[in-house]
Amino acid sequence: MSVGRLMRQEEDQVGLWLIGACGSVGCTVALGLAALRGGIAETTGLVSMLPSFRAGRLVDPSRIVVGGHEIRPEPLPEAVRHFGRAAGLFDEPLIKSCEVELRRSQKNIREGTIYAARRSILEENGAAGIRRERCAAEAVERIRDDVIQFRKRNRLRSAVVVDVSCSEPRRGNHKANADFSALQRELSRRGSQAVLPSSIYALAAIEAGCPFINFTASTGVRLPAIRQRADALGVPYMGSDGKTGETLVKSALAPMFAARNLEVLSWFGENILGNRDGAVLRDSSVRQSKLRSKDKTLKGILGGSPVTHVGIDFVPSLHDWKVAWDFIHFRGFLGTRMSMQFTWQGCDSILAAPLVIDLARFAELEHRLGRAGPMRHLACFFKDPIDVDQYDLPTQWAMLLRHFGPASSLPASPAARTRRKERQR
Amino acid sequence: MSVGRLMRQEEDQVGLWLIGACGSVGCTVALGLAALRGGIAETTGLVSMLPSFRAGRLVDPSRIVVGGHEIRPEPLPEAVRHFGRAAGLFDEPLIKSCEVELRRSQKNIREGTIYAARRSILEENGAAGIRRERCAAEAVERIRDDVIQFRKRNRLRSAVVVDVSCSEPRRGNHKANADFSALQRELSRRGSQAVLPSSIYALAAIEAGCPFINFTASTGVRLPAIRQRADALGVPYMGSDGKTGETLVKSALAPMFAARNLEVLSWFGENILGNRDGAVLRDSSVRQSKLRSKDKTLKGILGGSPVTHVGIDFVPSLHDWKVAWDFIHFRGFLGTRMSMQFTWQGCDSILAAPLVIDLARFAELEHRLGRAGPMRHLACFFKDPIDVDQYDLPTQWAMLLRHFGPASSLPASPAARTRRKERQR
Amino acid sequence: MSVGRLMRQEEDQVGLWLIGACGSVGCTVALGLAALRGGIAETTGLVSMLPSFRAGRLVDPSRIVVGGHEIRPEPLPEAVRHFGRAAGLFDEPLIKSCEVELRRSQKNIREGTIYAARRSILEENGAAGIRRERCAAEAVERIRDDVIQFRKRNRLRSAVVVDVSCSEPRRGNHKANADFSALQRELSRRGSQAVLPSSIYALAAIEAGCPFINFTASTGVRLPAIRQRADALGVPYMGSDGKTGETLVKSALAPMFAARNLEVLSWFGENILGNRDGAVLRDSSVRQSKLRSKDKTLKGILGGSPVTHVGIDFVPSLHDWKVAWDFIHFRGFLGTRMSMQFTWQGCDSILAAPLVIDLARFAELEHRLGRAGPMRHLACFFKDPIDVDQYDLPTQWAMLLRHFGPASSLPASPAARTRRKERQR
Amino acid sequence: MSVGRLMRQEEDQVGLWLIGACGSVGCTVALGLAALRGGIAETTGLVSMLPSFRAGRLVDPSRIVVGGHEIRPEPLPEAVRHFGRAAGLFDEPLIKSCEVELRRSQKNIREGTIYAARRSILEENGAAGIRRERCAAEAVERIRDDVIQFRKRNRLRSAVVVDVSCSEPRRGNHKANADFSALQRELSRRGSQAVLPSSIYALAAIEAGCPFINFTASTGVRLPAIRQRADALGVPYMGSDGKTGETLVKSALAPMFAARNLEVLSWFGENILGNRDGAVLRDSSVRQSKLRSKDKTLKGILGGSPVTHVGIDFVPSLHDWKVAWDFIHFRGFLGTRMSMQFTWQGCDSILAAPLVIDLARFAELEHRLGRAGPMRHLACFFKDPIDVDQYDLPTQWAMLLRHFGPASSLPASPAARTRRKERQR
């Protein structure tokens, strides 16, 4: 291969910078991309590989280079192995085949910031030894430079930053959050607690000119001041809180009740899980933040006044497996009460990781095409999509399809067609 | 009120002719319409009352007059009471308020035909005493005249015929079914078994110039010869097999798996119910006919080759309540196997009856507007929609909305809006 | 009938005095006894009617006279009708047939005490108008006299007092609770808050010489001082918290895991219900009291350290129907993780009422035989049985059988035999 | 170690001869015993390791030597690896640690007989090349000699034969089955089809003087003629059909309904699984045999006439995991209908294997103590226990405890105690 072609190819690569690179989602993304590159994984679970998006000039997954921030001391390959063993995922041959790639990604991992982080987060992650910056602005600057260096060192065309770290507690709004110059001043103030880490990362990504995706329920990019800055710099962004399991099912099922004019009286949902996210959610302020995001879906789709409940509880033995039970009490013709219930048994990281890759591909394309602001067409990936008040999956799905071409393509059949073809090969 | 105005008003009424008028669905339709007319029932469960269809000039439910064929000896008011008591539905005050109306409907009920009916049907329904016609043509003629008389006697603007009787066994195709003149000759042959009762009713409806709806899994209007005749006479029709419960849920959930590129490995569904339909389904040839119809949905939406199973079993203690359990085994990213299961506990007739009223309203409008042939836009009401190969609910729902105006109206919000308004009143 | 025989018959009657006589359980007990007396109800649900207890000289249900205390203003017959309508229970003919009996019971209902009751209880029950006694001793005296008058007026052989009111919050122990004379002094102190209403009722019952049953999770008879008094007066008692639904299932299922040496890692239970008990349980201090009682079962049976969780949430649309979902995560041979889940959909009062009648019959017999103290053989009726640390149903059941004769009779077959005989008749 | 001591130790070893040694249960037994011997597996799942049986002089699992018959060509270590990979069980380190032991067991595996086997069995197992004996007697003799050789070659004190092969179809009874001498004559007749393979194995085991356990639903030892022979030779035996999953739950839950006098109207059970047993059960005659065995439990416990249904369906993607859904419709006080449902998600072989080891230990002890005939105290291990008509788990469990000492020990606590101690170590 000529040096010229090699360089062009390298320039074709794009970066995926993960906040929380060695967490369970981060591990699965890194391992999954390595496996896809090695041709030993199928594309099942990747929305962006459906035929509807074939013509969309999305970057090939094999051209995505992984890097990120992490506050835990354990390196990526070891984190992958430990997580896999605990959750009963990833057999040894798979990890072995991807080890070289994982070690390469590890070289792109930098120490995250603990500025404004809760003490419990530091303890749980063994991050006590990390140096805390004097002010938030200093943290933003350092994070931004890490991302810029990543892009340069790997000669990447561009990089997308995705926050896959644990959920943060919701916070009362600081007055500086409304305007970027006010925020800038505030962040330079020593010890300021105006923003939480998720917003430090979001701002740093934007300052680095990178699209930013809020995959958690944290505030991140949602502060008006930070959105102003993203608009000023022409950076696209989206969030928040990836729609992977129970909420996904809700957003597919609730429209059915609406379309049949059945009145949902109560929709009671209970989630149990045992991963770090579950452990963090024992903190009731974090749980509130998560639940608010989960609860929007039903209110948004069903309207009226159904009694809704979303519970999350920590059951350590489940590790990364989430079990959700939803009970739906509804009223039909002549006031007759009926019910439906479902149990979802899914693996959180396995469901989240391909969506993170999808979002990186979709965001990179928007950025390449020079578009900025909230990527509303990606609403179907989020529990609480920015600037979108459609929560039902069919409508959100139609928004995504419409963005990529004539509405002729239907939701279901494409998926089927791909799979059929993949099998024939 | 002047005689002129009275007459105009009467001419505004339309008929709903039910095949199986005193079955559980028939009873619920008749009682429900009486309750709506009396202002003592809400419109919950009626799709056609959603705001999206407000501007559609559909006939008001209070203007629908009920009549029908029945082979059971028990009159409608008694059948309603017995059915309600057995299934734990309809409290006494409701039935009492509607009794006058039900007696009026009873006057419009005529003896059904038992030509070509299975012996077991006669025994189960106490229909042994009914006179059997000498040939199918004679039955068609008699049925047709009953419908015409109903229209005349009640001075109805028009009438829609809906088959809500029990499912029939599937049959090998008779060669006469391909062409109407051949069929006509065959039907005049004494003792011919070319068609089953459902097709006798369908043909009779069409000969009477009435739109025909196949709400069961029976053949009915689906014979090419009968469809030819409907086209020739300019009559709209649709079917078959109302999508009321488990299949409805499937058609809402399966697109979710497709849209997330998750591979469904197996979808195992089991239905248990205790009504007459359940009893009839013990006959394996009838069950085959029903299962074929139920199974189309998944194959149609998911493509590929998931292992699907649909079971139906008779559990008498459940009466009209159907309990369905579906277990979905699927594969996500990196080959990880996950599962979901749901249990649906619904009352069959309560779910079916409002859809029958919807279909009557929608079909009457098409007929009034001079349209003929299969009403494809009604696909979302059926498990096995004629001439439509879209089985997913979101697409079918979009088809219905598109038929009634700009696609701007979204599936979920309208339902919510209505209910909100209804409550405010 | 001669006056002599009539009097003897009346003397054969026994009283069932209900604390919370017009609550949902009280209503169902009163209606059920009336229906049994009228011969229009079967004995399904009554443990004490199983053949194992035939020879036990238990009082016939038709000889039980109902009375009780209530703080709500609504009379019993109306309460029965309202409750039945809201919960979808008791058809009109049943209520009509029992109306005379219910009116007769209403004559035996007296105003309950609100001494030491939470304000919220008064508001929810419309009990604002009730006069509050000056000290607890005054309340005890009044309650005691009501019970004695009931026994006299109805010429009852004896009376059993059962607390079927709402659960109370758990309270720190007052030092006077340890010894009866100390308690007696404390109760005479104006405004003393040493005991909650449930213990006032318990003490009053004992002072009246009546067996007392704690069917709720409240403290009631459990104070050492009150138990001392019961022993001194030779009165039998038992409690607490009737085992009607989810906990019953747990106590039947958990021994299976133990007997197969399967290690339960986590047992997550969630209960949703919509009755007054559910509403009261929104108060977190009450919920704690209830949950402690519910959680004892698993810890008691499984030992070790499974992670257990019992949740209770209020879902108004369910009324008296309780839906419980339990997810059991367990480990088998070679460390393999497996799971089981169940959903229980039962009607609380319908399950509780026959047990209340059973307990009255069993307690009356003990009293008649001159036995006092905790009736340990009744452990199978309670979530938290006094002085019994066996929580598994099979062991508790064996204890009940052993009390009534040779252990030869097996748990299952008798029930079957009865039913078979009942059907033959 | 001195030769004398070595020999004594060897004489202390006992054999476990498996019919179907390389099937999924056989693999798990062999691997599990190797792991226990190596100290790398816990005793979870082994009933016989509960403290109640500590004093019972049962042989230590580390002294059990595995051998068996198999008609599949694949050797044991490979079968273990393939099965584990397909079912998602046994990680590589576990298999590696046990490989030497598995190879040693492989030396004890002999070619099974295909005399009287269905053609489909041969095809599915790749057993086409196996020589068929000329008459059943020849097969019995060869099998018997294999077992005797196994005992001799490994210097075993004794050996227990357990049938863990696939279920056979039920067969009309041959007249020779009633009497041993008649059967003996018949078996010597060339081509006789009087008995199926399971009975050939059972008879051979008995002729070799080995206790025989029917772990499948096949006929095996249940022929009167074979039982006569076992009695004559003083050999203990038991069966049939291991109670591992759904039926186990039924036998724990059904007594609860009986003890509460709740009337079970319908109990509908549906099992789906994907292992070879599931594949074999597609043959309706085999399924009948299995279902009859599964259905006995409910009829036996509940009596009366509940409508029961047990379905088994083949869902290949589940491999060795069985998912069972049971819906229980029951009637309580005042005729109120309620319901309960459960879903069991267990791994068949992981549940069965420790029970096979338990049965070997219990049977070896009986044999050593000179007892013969049906081992009724082992009823709790079987769906259809020979000569026992108690199907409820609590009664069966009490039978087992009583066999091993005073009934003082309670079902639950021992298991808990063990685990607590195991953790302390």
> What string of DSSP letters covers A166-232?
PPPPP-PPPGGGG-HHHHHHHHHSTT--SS-HHHHHHHHHHHTT--EEE-SSS-GGGSHHHHHHHHH
Asked if B317 and D270 come within 8 Å (Cβ–Cβ), the reply is no
At A63 the pLDDT is 96
Q: Quick check: A15 and A154 in contact, CB under 8 A?
A: yes
Mean pLDDT over all residues of chain B? 89
* Chain A residues 281-340 with CB within 8 Å of chain C: 307, 309, 311, 313, 315-318, 323, 325, 327, 329, 337, 339
Question: Which of A220-234, B130-144, C82-96, D296-310 is least confident?
Answer: D296-310
At D158 the pLDDT is 95
pLDDT at C141 over 90: yes
For tokens 């065959």, what's the residue? Answer: B186
> How many whole angstroms separate alpha carbon B366 and alpha carbon B372?
7
- The nearest alpha carbon in chain D to A88 belongs to D88
Structure-block tokens of residue B258: 């497709």
pLDDT at C117 over 90: no
The three-state secondary structure class of B195 is: coil
Q: What is the pLDDT of residues B333-368, one digit of tens each?
A: 999 999 999 999 999 999 999 999 999 999 999 999
Residues in chain C with CB shorter than 8 Å from the CB of D256 are: 248-249, 252, 393
Measured in angstroms, the CA of C266 and the nearest CA of chain A are apart by: 7
At D11 the pLDDT is 52
Closest CA to C364 of C162, C135, C108: C162
Neighbours of C, requiring at least 3 CB pairs below 8 Å, are A, B, D
- The nearest alpha carbon in chain C to B93 belongs to C92
* Chain A residues 148-207 with CB within 8 Å of chain B: none
CA C14 to mean position of chain CA atoms: 18
At D167 the pLDDT is 84
Measured in angstroms, the CA of B154 and the nearest CA of chain A are apart by: 26
At B410 the pLDDT is 38
> How many whole angstroms separate alpha carbon A334 and alpha carbon B42?
7
C213 by Cβ neighbours in 10 Å (0-12 / 13-18 / 19+) ranks as buried
Neighbours of D, requiring at least 3 CB pairs below 8 Å, are A, B, C
- The nearest alpha carbon in chain D to A341 belongs to D341
Most B-contacting residue of D263, D309, D327, D347 (CB-CB within 10 A), to test interface: D327
This prediction has a pTM of: 0.93
Amino acid type, D187: L
At C10 the pLDDT is 46
Q: What are phi and psi of C305, to 5 degrees?
A: -135, 60
Q: Quick check: A199 and A55 in contact, CB under 8 A?
A: no
**B120-140 residues labelled b (16+ CB within 10 A) or e (exposed):** ebbeebebeebeebebbbbbb
At A422 the pLDDT is 43
Q: What is the pLDDT of residues C41-52, one digit of tens each?
A: 999 999 999 999
- A160 forms bridges with which residues in the sheet? A16
pLDDT confidence tier of residue D296, bands split at 50, 70 and 90: confident
- The nearest alpha carbon in chain C to A308 belongs to C315
Measured in angstroms, the CA of B325 and the nearest CA of chain C are apart by: 13
Question: Which of A360-374, C163-177, C337-351, D289-303 is least confident?
Answer: D289-303
Mean pLDDT over all residues of chain D? 89
At B121 the pLDDT is 80
ipTM of the complex: 0.92
pLDDT confidence tier of residue A56, bands split at 50, 70 and 90: low
Q: Report yes or no: A342 at the C interface, CB cutoff 8 Å.
A: no
Average pLDDT of B19-32?
A: 97
At D409 the pLDDT is 39
At B116 the pLDDT is 86
Non-local (6+) Cβ contacts of B411 within 8 A are A255, A258, A259, A392, A394, A395, B394, B397, B398, B401
Q: What is the pLDDT of residues C169-217, one digit of tens each?
A: 777 778 888 899 999 999 999 988 888 999 999 999 999 999 999 999 9
Asked if A315 and C337 come within 8 Å (Cβ–Cβ), the reply is no
Most D-contacting residue of C260, C297, C421 (CB-CB within 10 A), to test interface: C260
pLDDT at B388 over 50: yes
At B201 the pLDDT is 97
SS3 string, chain C, reads CCHHHHHHHHHCCEEEEEECCCCHHHHHHHHHHHHHHCCCCCCCCCHHHCHHHHHHCCCCHHHEEEEEEECCCCCHHHHHHHHHHHHCCCCHHHHHHHHHHHHHHHCCEEECCCCCCCHHHHHHHCCCCCCCCCCHHHHHHHHHHHHHHHHHHCCCCEEEEEECCCCCCCCCCCHHHHCHHHHHHHHHCCCCCCCCHHHHHHHHHHHCCCCEEECCCCCHHHCHHHHHHHHHHCCEEEECCECCCHHHHHHHHHHHHHHCCCEEEEEEEEEEECCHHHHHCCCHHHHHHHHHHHHHHHHHHHCCCCEEEEEEEECHHHCCEEEEEEEEEEECHHHCEEEEEEEEEEEHHHHHHHHHHHHHHHHHHHHHCCCCEECHHHHHHECCCCCCCCCCHHHHHHHHHHHCCCCCCCCHHHHHHHHHHHHHC
C142 by Cβ neighbours in 10 Å (0-12 / 13-18 / 19+) ranks as middle
Residues in chain D with CB shorter than 8 Å from the CB of B88 are: 337
CATH classification number, A3-242+351-381, choose in 3.30.505.10, 3.40.50.920, 1.10.287.610, 3.40.50.720: 3.40.50.720
Residues in chain B with CB shorter than 8 Å from the CB of D263 are: none
pLDDT at C126 over 90: no
CB atoms within 10 A of CB C85: 14
At C332 the pLDDT is 97
Residues in chain C with CB shorter than 8 Å from the CB of D260 are: 45, 47, 248
Residues in chain D with CB shorter than 8 Å from the CB of C52 are: none
Nearest-CB residue to A92 (from D88, D92, D343): D92
Measured in angstroms, the CA of C419 and the nearest CA of chain D are apart by: 6
At D422 the pLDDT is 43
Average pLDDT of A32-59?
A: 93
Average pLDDT of A94-123?
A: 92
Choose between B13 and C125: higher pLDDT: B13
pLDDT at A234 over 50: yes
Asked if C302 and D41 come within 8 Å (Cβ–Cβ), the reply is no
Which of A44-48, A417-421, C283-287, D411-415 has the highest average model confidence (pLDDT)? A44-48
Amino acid type, A376: R
Question: Which of B274-283, C350-359, D257-266 is least confident?
Answer: B274-283
Residues in chain D with CB shorter than 8 Å from the CB of C261 are: 43-47, 49-50, 354, 415, 418
Q: Domain D246-346 is of which CATH architecture?
A: 2-Layer Sandwich (3.30)
pLDDT confidence tier of residue C220, bands split at 50, 70 and 90: very high
pLDDT at A351 over 90: yes
Most A-contacting residue of B33, B89, B257, B260 (CB-CB within 10 A), to test interface: B260
Q: Quick check: A343 and B341 in contact, CB under 8 A?
A: yes
At B11 the pLDDT is 52
Choose between B147 and C57: higher pLDDT: B147
pLDDT at C416 over 70: no
Residues in chain A with CB shorter than 8 Å from the CB of C343 are: 341
At D268 the pLDDT is 95
pLDDT at B420 over 50: no
Q: What are phi and psi of B97, to 5 degrees?
A: -65, -25
Asked if A311 and C316 come within 8 Å (Cβ–Cβ), the reply is no
pLDDT at A289 over 90: no
> How many whole angstroms separate alpha carbon C87 and alpha carbon C84?
5
Which of A291-305, A409-423, C162-176, C244-258 has the highest average model confidence (pLDDT)? C244-258
At D36 the pLDDT is 97
Q: What is the pLDDT of residues B157-214, one digit of tens each?
A: 999 999 999 888 777 778 888 899 999 999 999 988 888 999 999 999 999 999 999 9
pLDDT at B400 over 90: yes
Q: Quick check: D185 and D299 in contact, CB under 8 A?
A: no
Question: Which sequence spans correspond to the domains of chain A?
Answer: 3-242+351-381, 246-346
- A65 forms bridges with which residues in the sheet? A15
Q: What is the pLDDT of residues B261-301, one digit of tens each?
A: 999 999 999 999 998 777 777 677 767 767 777 777 888 88
Q: Quick check: B223 and B177 in contact, CB under 8 A?
A: yes
Question: How large a percentage of chain A has pLDDT more than 90?
Answer: 72
pLDDT confidence tier of residue C56, bands split at 50, 70 and 90: low
> How many whole angstroms separate alpha carbon B156 and alpha carbon B161?
13
Residues in chain A with CB shorter than 8 Å from the CB of C307 are: 315-317
pLDDT at A410 over 60: no
Neighbours of B, requiring at least 3 CB pairs below 8 Å, are A, C, D
Average pLDDT of C129-156?
A: 94
At C54 the pLDDT is 82
pLDDT confidence tier of residue A418, bands split at 50, 70 and 90: very low
Choose between D293 and D12: higher pLDDT: D12
Residues in chain D with CB shorter than 8 Å from the CB of C414 are: 258
Asked if A261 and B46 come within 8 Å (Cβ–Cβ), the reply is yes
At D424 the pLDDT is 41
Closest CA to C364 of C117, C96, C14: C14
Structure-block tokens of residue C93: 């003919």
At C11 the pLDDT is 52
pLDDT confidence tier of residue A425, bands split at 50, 70 and 90: very low
Asked if A415 and B259 come within 8 Å (Cβ–Cβ), the reply is yes
Average pLDDT of D85-109?
A: 94
Residues in chain D with CB shorter than 8 Å from the CB of A88 are: 88
Q: What is the pLDDT of residues B359-381, one digit of tens each?
A: 999 999 999 999 999 999 999 99
Angle at which helix B284-302 crosses helix B246-259, to 10 degrees, equals: 20
E strand segments, A219-306: 236-239, 263-273
Handedness of CA B238, B241, B244, B249 (dihedral sign): negative
Question: Which of A2-11, B124-133, B379-388 is least confident?
Answer: A2-11
pLDDT at B152 over 80: yes
The three-state secondary structure class of D76 is: helix
pLDDT at A25 over 90: yes
Question: Which of B307-311, C123-127, C218-222, D193-197 is least confident?
Answer: C123-127
Question: Which of B230-244, C248-262, D163-177, D341-355 is least confident?
Answer: D163-177
Structure-block tokens of residue D159: 């050996």
Measured in angstroms, the CA of D403 and the nearest CA of chain C are apart by: 15
Average pLDDT of D132-138?
A: 92
- The nearest alpha carbon in chain C to D87 belongs to C336
- The nearest alpha carbon in chain B to A297 belongs to B412
Asked if C346 and D338 come within 8 Å (Cβ–Cβ), the reply is yes
pLDDT at D411 over 50: no
Question: Which of A233-247, B11-25, B229-243, B398-412 is least confident?
Answer: B398-412
Q: Quick check: D138 and D164 in contact, CB under 8 A?
A: no
At C172 the pLDDT is 75
- The nearest alpha carbon in chain D to A89 belongs to D88
At C406 the pLDDT is 61
